Amino acid sequence: MNLFVINSGSSSIKYQLFHMPAEKVVCSGLVERIGLEDAVITHKVYKDDQQEVIPLTLPIPDHGIGLAEVVKLLTDDKIGVIQNPQEIQVVGHRVVHGGESFAQTAIITEATKAEIKKLFPLAPLHNPSNFLGIEVAEQIFPKATQIAVFDTAFHQTMPAKAFRYAIPEEFYTKLGIRAYGFHGTSHKYVADRAIAYLSKKDTNLITIHLGNGCSMSAVKNGICVDTSMGLGPMNGLIMGTRSGDIDQSVIFYLVNQLGYDLKEVNTILNKKSGMLGLTGFSDMRDITKAIELGDMHAQLAYDMYAYRIKKYMGAYAAVLNGLDAIVFTAGVGENDKKIRELICREMEYLGITIDVARNNSSDKDMREINTAEARVKVLVIPTNEELEIARQCFDLVSNPQPI
């Protein structure tokens, strides 16, 4: 089966073509700067353990044109991997917010699309772009089964005591205001791999997704019981440009005392805060370079970043009533050895100690970095959200649910 995975952003499209069930990646790519004259497509073809990279710069006015250009590459006489779009049997779409409507992966129908549109107010930066990707793909791959995989679905197993806010009841019952959580596809992928690695029937995991966006989940026996993000993706950990947890009084002070309007405050907390607000940099690589040069602001931000994660680790260990492993994943989690060391420092009470040599290894595969005698495994597991989406889509079409 040819299964095409699409992750559509406001000005970008990430994609991968899989042969299933072998889970073989045939090609992948990224369309960037959609809407501009100098848009960029980076297309990669994998054949005989070799990778060929095809970079293109061209005007791409909209997502439809962008995906049409991708199809040209997929069907090109020299580098193509299919002969025509009809060979794509399934298209899997990442959709950020599924609300309470979608606790599972879903085949896209008109009713599904209507529900996704209803959720636009809960994810105004993401769901409209995801929806646009669906509509464009329906035109280009009209015979394919279109499937939505929701970032929030993995967290729908949380109990009410974890996802409810202590605000008047009608805000939840009438408006659906609650914690939903995000990065669920990533958390599920690494949790499943960790459980398989541990070979234990009963497992208590803390999964830590650290990229430009950051989140954590408490996972018991493969089921999410709590997560750090909330109604939207701003809550919880300190992130690249997002503040994470903040006293609500700060918002009222900015508006009522300093004269900011709510749109400005939203921009500050979403796009100008986090590591960017503290250091001037949103990329952890730039921050670590600044630390090496003696920048005290960068060092403080680094310490704050790790401290917030440690607080959540303690809370989730309590929620789980025990801990078998913690899992680091995503760009920072997989590659920043110093932040992993700082997070795990002085955590012996929870049974967490890391082996410096293991932690410093440049190995990019799944690996253990804890000491041999540690009670709790510390794992680094590269995430693969596109593969998780492909697996969920393939499982759905192979084992259709009764209506």
pLDDT tens digits along 105-148: 999 999 999 999 988 888 777 888 888 889 989 998 999 999 99
Instruction: Note the pLDDT of residue 33.
Output: 86
Sequence-distant (≥ 6) Cβ neighbours of residue 230 within 8 angstroms: 165, 179, 180, 181, 236
Dihedral class, residue 224 (left if φ above 0, else alpha if ψ from -120 to 50, else beta)? beta
pLDDT band for position 401 (cuts 50, 70, 90): low
User: Are 19 and 112 within one domain?
Assistant: yes
Sequence-distant (≥ 6) Cβ neighbours of residue 91 within 8 angstroms: 3, 4, 5, 6, 137, 141, 144, 145, 146, 147
Average pLDDT value for residue range 279-304: 94
Distances (CA, A) of 171 to 111, 166, 247, 269: 25, 10, 20, 23
Whether 6 is in a domain gets the answer: yes
Average pLDDT value for residue range 298-323: 97
Instruction: Note the pLDDT of residue 402.
Output: 53
User: Are 131 and 215 within one domain?
Assistant: no
Instruction: Note the pLDDT of residue 59.
Output: 93
Residue 399 predicted with pLDDT over 90: no
User: Are 293 and 211 within one domain?
Assistant: yes
Distance, CA of 347 to CA of 353 (rounded, Å): 7
User: Are 138 and 211 within one domain?
Assistant: no
Token pair for residue 38? 């100098």
- Residue 333, marked binder: yes
Of 176, 98, 178, 162, nearest to 131 by C-alpha is 98
User: Are 220 and 348 within one domain?
Assistant: yes
- Residue 213, marked binder: yes
- Residue 7, marked binder: yes
To the query of whether residue 151 is one of the catalytic residues in this protein, the response is yes
User: Are 30 and 144 within one domain?
Assistant: yes
In this structure, the strands spanning 325-329 and 377-380 are: parallel
Higher pLDDT, 201 or 21: 21
Distance, CA of 12 to CA of 83 (rounded, Å): 25
User: Are 146 and 207 within one domain?
Assistant: no
Q: Which one from 49, 62, 77, 151 is the annotated catalytic residue?
A: 151
Whether 403 is in a domain gets the answer: no
Token pair for residue 248? 């609500």
Whether 62 is in a domain gets the answer: yes
Whether 269 is in a domain gets the answer: yes
- Residue 359, marked binder: no
Q: How many domains in the chain?
A: 2
Whether 117 is in a domain gets the answer: yes
User: Are 132 and 250 within one domain?
Assistant: no
**Domain interval for residue 37:** 2-150
CB 171 within 8 A of CB 177: yes
Residue 11 predicted with pLDDT over 80: no
In this structure, the strands spanning 50-58 and 39-47 are: antiparallel
- Residue 211, marked binder: yes
- Residue 209, marked binder: yes
Residue 403 predicted with pLDDT over 60: no
- Residue 285, marked binder: yes
User: Are 107 and 20 within one domain?
Assistant: yes
Higher pLDDT, 13 or 216: 216
- Residue 14, marked binder: yes
Residue 287 predicted with pLDDT over 80: yes
Residue-wise pLDDT for 181-231, tens only, equals 999 999 999 999 999 999 988 999 999 999 988 999 999 999 999 999 999
Instruction: Note the pLDDT of residue 64.
Output: 85
- Residue 283, marked binder: yes
Distance, CA of 361 to CA of 250 (rounded, Å): 42
- Residue 340, marked binder: no
Average pLDDT value for residue range 9-28: 90
